[in-house]
Amino acid sequence: MDIRLTNDLSDLDRLAEEVGAFCATEGIEQSEALQLNLVLEEIFTNIVSYGYEDARAHEIVVTLESTDGGIRAQVIDDAKAFNPLEVDAADTSSSVEDRQIGGLGLHFLRKMTRDQSYWRKGGRNHLTFVKPVETG
């Protein structure tokens, strides 16, 4: 399934609806579907919030595919080059008041998924990962 979004935070609702529908069709447990949605929402929000230096409309494509033991997701965008897998892990041990803002989306990506990879080709960022799931 391909979900084609624009670089506008108003598309978060549509992303959640599409991910929910895909997971329901595939028989994915609701708790795991919510985790997948959380990771994708964080990635999408970061792309929209930090990836573009102009006000033009850009397309962000989220692809979901069922595989043995998980959902393979790929996010493709034409934002500025950014490899989230090279970013230091977020500080989750300090109190909320002492932590720097940001980084939890990448923390969720690392903790809730496996087989993460990133590459840049043709002016586009490609981020893939697998969300392990059980069907119900």
* CATH code for the domain of 84: 3.30.565.10
pTM: 0.87
Q: How many domains does the chain have?
A: 1
| Beta carbons of 113 and 130 less than 8 angstroms apart | yes
Task: Beginning with the edge strand found earlier in the chain, give each strand of the sheet holding 124-132 in spatial order.
Answer: 2-6, 59-67, 70-77, 124-132, 114-121
- pLDDT tens string for the chain (136 positions)? 999 999 999 999 999 999 999 999 999 999 999 999 999 999 999 999 999 999 999 999 999 999 987 999 999 999 999 998 887 655 445 444 443 444 556 778 888 999 999 999 999 999 999 999 876 5
Bridging pattern class, strands 124-132 and 114-121: antiparallel
CB 76 within 8 A of CB 125: yes
What is the residue range of 89's domain?
A: 2-132
